[in-house]
Amino acid sequence: MLTQNAPLLEIRQLNVSYANLQVLWDVSLSIGEGEIVTLLGANGAGKTSLVQSIFGLNKPRSGSILFRGKAITGIAPYDVVRQGIMLVPEKRELFPKMTVRENLMLGSYSHTGNMADIGEIYALFPALQERTDQLAGTLSGGEQQMLAIARALMARPSMIVLDEPSLGLSPLLVTTVLDSVQSLNKGGLTILLVEQNVQHALEISHRAYILENGRITREGFASELLKDDQIREAYLGL
Ligand code: ATP
């Protein structure tokens, strides 16, 4: 176990199947308070299935998920959110015909009854403040990703799970988005980052797990994985 701080989220021996197709096999991982942990894996490795299990969107066949030491396995998504953990989904799921401000105001914070001040959120993302009255559907890809993250923060979570935030973004925007993720972490937010953008994700993370065909095959400090020849060859094409 490499985690230094007390685990905030812990997954133990998780098995997930869709009908007869098992997609996660004995997956165990933990995220310490204050960490950024990256989950890396190729297409179809099972990353989204794992994220969906955390948020009660699919029911594991066996295993457990604990948040602050308390089992949350299989509870309803809004109850997971109430514990202080928010999902920024892969497809961002914004309301395109509503403004930036309306998207922030209509975020899932209502499930927690614990809403951030919009001014605090705009202080973190000044580019969104400048676009407060712009329709979300007209924002650039990077701005939409920022808005999706900002909306999750409206619930004042202690942890967020980011499902492939760099998907579809230009290299420059990937840097902007992941740099903001790192600043949020420096401000105390615990983050599980699901990514295919290996180099940059490892650069901003404390630790990482590698998921291959539904199994965790490696785990370690991100700085060490970045130097590992096998990882560089398999994931960085170096
Ligand atoms: P990607 O990076 O392409 O999004 P992923 O690592 O997130 O991939 P998953 O989406 O979790 O992987 O998919 C893992 C496996 O589970 C795949 O073989 C996929 O076809 C299968 N799968 C995912 N969702 C379902 C479902 N609802 N019903 C049946 N099979 C599914």
3-state secondary structure string across 21-74 = EEEEEEEEEEEECCCEEEEECCCCCCHHHHHHHHCCCCCCCEEEEEECCEECCC
CB 181 within 8 A of CB 162: yes
Probe target for ligand 1 pocket from 14, 17, 21, with the most ligand atoms within 8 Å of CB: 21
Cβ(41) to ligand 1 under 6 A?
Answer: yes
Dist. CA 37–CA 206, nearest whole Å:
6
Question: Which positions of the chain have pLDDT values less than 50?
Answer: 1
Q: Closest Cα to atom 25, ligand 1: which residue?
A: 18
Probe target for ligand 1 pocket from 17, 47, 90, with the most ligand atoms within 8 Å of CB: 47
**pLDDT attached to residue 39:** 96
Q: Closest Cα to atom 4, ligand 1: which residue?
A: 43
Expressed in angstroms and rounded, the spacing between residue 9 Cα and the centre of ligand 1 is 22
pTM over 0.75: yes
pLDDT tens string 80-112: 998 999 999 887 788 899 999 999 988 655 555
Measure Cα distances from 203 to 59, 87, 162, 208 in Å.
33, 22, 16, 10
**pLDDT attached to residue 2:** 52
Q: Closest Cα to atom 29, ligand 1: which residue?
A: 18
**pLDDT attached to residue 113:** 62
